[in-house]
Amino acid sequence: MNIKEILPLIATILAFSPLTITFFRKTNPCFNYEMLAIKPYLWLIFIGAFYELIFTSFLRIPSAYWFTAYTFLEFLALWYFFRELLGLRYMYFFKGTMFIVIVGFLIILYYWEYNIHTTLEAYLLVPILLFVFISSFIWFKDLFNKEIISLWIIPSFYFISGLIIYFSGGFFISLLYDQLKIITGLSETNWLVFVSGLIIMYIMITIGVWKGTEKKP
């Protein structure tokens, strides 16, 4: 096995860890609402990793459909997370984004073709990426109004940092994947950038979950 295969494997394994931790440790009451908000996303990446492992790696079923669906589900989970985190003040923002993305998703389904599906997903990623960035920005802004002693103890800090890094790193690769696939050999290497981003994000989320929980008495 070379690095091209190890890294995705590591990413898949790491994807299991956040949710698993929540089974073995109980939530720190201070961060209750944050942990509840991230739960759907944790489930998603767990199931995603599960799917990858079983269906794709073992059974070698093409994952194209799954990727497209995953992109949308990912948006839903993150939409839920940020909505819980930011509160009711930004309802218009959330409703608007949801509307745009649903419309975008339907359009993509309409034009869906196997060859270009990654590029289509990348188009969908544009509003999603903006959504993540803007929500993170709002969260950071609101943070200053509160009396926070240290950012490093808040689980959400890790979640959001992880998400930002992952989405920034993964955007262009998704956009240019189909192009790069034509230019052979390079796509796989470049895909590793994406996988690395994924690994970093999973690590951050794991740390966040760890910070947000405490030992079961």
In whole angstroms, how close is the CB of 64 to another protein at the nearest point?
A: 20
User: How many positions of this chain bind another protein (CB under 8 A)?
Assistant: 26
Taking the least distance from each CB to another protein, the nearer of 60 and 141 is 141
Q: Cβ–Cβ contacts within 10 Å for residue 2, how many?
A: 6
In whole angstroms, how close is the CB of 161 to another protein at the nearest point?
A: 5
Residues between 164 and 183 that touch another protein (CB under 8 A): 164-165, 167-169, 171-173, 175-176, 179-180, 183
Residues between 8 and 27 that touch another protein (CB under 8 A): none
* Position 151 contacts another protein (CB under 8 A): yes
Taking the least distance from each CB to another protein, the nearer of 30 and 148 is 148
In whole angstroms, how close is the CB of 146 to another protein at the nearest point?
A: 10
Residues between 84 and 143 that touch another protein (CB under 8 A): 136-137, 140, 143
Q: Which residues bind another protein (CB under 8 A)?
A: 136-137, 140, 143-144, 147-149, 151, 161, 164-165, 167-169, 171-173, 175-176, 179-180, 183, 186, 190, 193
